[in-house]
Amino acid sequence: MRIHGGTATLLAATVLAGCGSLPSGRDRVVKAPATCQDQTVHIYFDAYSAQVTREGQAVLRQAAAAAKGCRVQSVEVLGLADAVGAPDANLELSKKRADSVTSALARAGLPAAEFKVAAAGQAGATTASGEARPLRRRADVTLRLASPK
Answer yes or no: is 25 within a domain: no
Between 29 and 123, residue with greater pLDDT: 123
- Note down the domain range covering 137: 39-146
Answer yes or no: is 83 within a domain: yes
Answer yes or no: is 33 within a domain: no
Answer yes or no: is 8 within a domain: no
**pTM assigned to the model:** 0.74
Answer yes or no: is 5 within a domain: no
| Distance in angstroms between the alpha carbons of the first and the last residue of the chain | 67
Residue range 62-72, pLDDT digits in tens: 999 999 999 99
Measure the CA–CA gap between 31 and 44, rounded to whole angstroms.
Answer: 33
The mean pLDDT value of the chain amounts to 85
Query: Looking at residue 134, what is its pLDDT?
Result: 78
Q: Would you say how long the chain is, in residues? A: 149
Residue range 1-21, pLDDT digits in tens: 555 555 545 444 444 455 455
Number of domains in the chain: 1
Query: Looking at residue 131, what is its pLDDT?
Result: 87
Q: Are 33 and 128 spatial neighbours (Cβ–Cβ below 8 Å)?
A: no
**CA distance to 54, 125, 134, per residue, from 128 (Å):** 34, 10, 14
Between 82 and 24, residue with greater pLDDT: 82
The strand pairing partners of 119, in sequence order, are: 79
Q: Are 44 and 135 spatial neighbours (Cβ–Cβ below 8 Å)?
A: yes
Residue type for position 14? T
Answer yes or no: is 76 within a domain: yes
Which one-letter DSSP state was computed for residue 83?
S
- Domain CATH code at residue 96: 3.30.1330.60
